Amino acid sequence: MYDAFVLVSFGGPEGPEDVLPFLRNVTRGRGIPEERLAEVAEHYRHFGGVSPINAQCRELLAALRVEFAQAGLDLPSYWGNRNWAPYLADTVRRMRDDGVRRALAFVTSPYGSYSSCRQYLDDIARARAEVEGAPEIDKIRHYHDHPGHIAPHVDAVRAALATLPPQRRSTTRLVFTAHSIPSAMAATAGPTGGRYEAQLREVGALVAARAAPDIPWDLVWQSRSGPPQVPWLEPDVSDHLATLAEAGTTSVVVSPIGFISDHLEVVWDLDTEAARTARRLGLDFARAATAGTDPRFVTMIRELVTERLDPGSPRPALGTIPTWDFCDPGCCPAARPRPATTG
């Protein structure tokens, strides 16, 4: 059925001169003023103008090629981004030139909403429309509750807890974070709405039950963007830390379950801003790692590919929220008209 694999991601700048053009790509059509882009650009310049995401994609793709070879999967692997080189349309053109006819796409988000799922389907459709004779490309299912996604988060939370004062365990809290989205987008996520929040809460519950069942946990949000008059999911992680400190919490483990690797939103919004807030509040602060190239996560991707190659193979899942191979065209609609796509 499939003769190639393509990793589809968000993209990020790889030098100071890339930062503003990249941010203009990300915000195109949203009316974000230049002064706001310049403010966000400083976050990237704090790290030399380089987002970690492209390097992480290269590492993941390299690990997958080894994993595929060891499993006897003869699938050439490609990589394309939404907002920066290698752009997805250029990757699709190369796939066509290489003779690819039908590929499986793994998207670097486990969850369902317009921005975390449907927009990637739109990206794929738009890239194919730009390339005459483009191969068919099918997106792999959501994988939020796959054991290979949950296990690395569990171990990461345990490792982070081990760095905190054990005598304060009774006043410690787990804080799971994910990228905030507009409330209207959250309401229309999935076929009946609310899928993004439900999946994240399921992941939080699965990780907490395995890593620290005696410690209470919360799901909060980070990295909000957009005009202040538009409601987004709340509370923000830094605001929540202040609430916890006021209520007597002494220590927090922050686990970014909304991200599969240490994106800029993790290393800036959590490691820099949230950590600074915690210090100001007198909270012990530990940030749990993301999955990255954990061997279990890499194996998970290979298993997701095997699922599609052999429909009779198992579909591992630790939660109860169903997944499917092909999204309905009405799932996760955009807030404004977008190019048509099929599920």
Q: Is residue 64 part of a domain?
A: yes
Count the neighbouring beta carbons within 10 Å of the beta carbon of residue 31: 8
Half-sphere exposure of 33 (CA within 13 A, CB side): 4
Q: Which pLDDT tens digit goes with each residue over 121-173? A: 999 999 999 999 999 999 999 999 999 999 999 999 999 999 999 999 999 99
Q: Is residue 235 part of a domain?
A: yes
CA 80 to each of CA 34, 218, 258, 311: distance values in angstroms, whole numbers, following the listed order? 27, 34, 21, 26
Is residue 111 located within the same domain as residue 170? no
pLDDT at residue 149, rounded to an integer: 98
* Cα(324)–Cα(113) distance, integer angstroms: 14
- Cβ 112 vs Cβ 41: under 8 Å: no
Is residue 156 located within the same domain as residue 281? yes
> What is the domain range of residue 129?
4-143+294-309
Average pLDDT, whole number, for the chain?
A: 95
Mean pLDDT of the 80-93 span:
98
Q: Is residue 164 part of a domain?
A: yes
Whether residue 61 is predicted with pLDDT greater than 80 in this model: the reply is yes
pLDDT at residue 276, rounded to an integer: 98
Is residue 154 located within the same domain as residue 200? yes
pLDDT at residue 212, rounded to an integer: 98
Is residue 11 located within the same domain as residue 127? yes
- Cβ 258 vs Cβ 202: under 8 Å: no
Q: Which pLDDT tens digit goes with each residue over 297-341? A: 999 999 999 999 998 899 999 999 999 999 998 899 987 543 333
Is residue 55 located within the same domain as residue 108? yes
Q: Is residue 343 part of a domain?
A: no
* Cα(68)–Cα(232) distance, integer angstroms: 40
Q: Is residue 69 part of a domain?
A: yes
Q: Which pLDDT tens digit goes with each residue over 15-56? A: 999 999 999 999 988 778 888 899 999 999 999 999 999 999
Q: Which residues of 209-247 are buried (b: 16+ CB within 10 A; e: fewer)?
A: ebbbeebebbbbbbbbbbeeeeebbeebbbebbbebbee
| In the block, residue with structure tokens 């796409």 | 105
Q: Is residue 318 part of a domain?
A: no
Is residue 219 located within the same domain as residue 131? no
Tell me the CATH number at 211: 3.40.50.1400
Is residue 87 located within the same domain as residue 68? yes
Is residue 159 located within the same domain as residue 122? no
Is residue 46 located within the same domain as residue 154? no
The total domain count for the chain is: 2
pLDDT at residue 334, rounded to an integer: 87
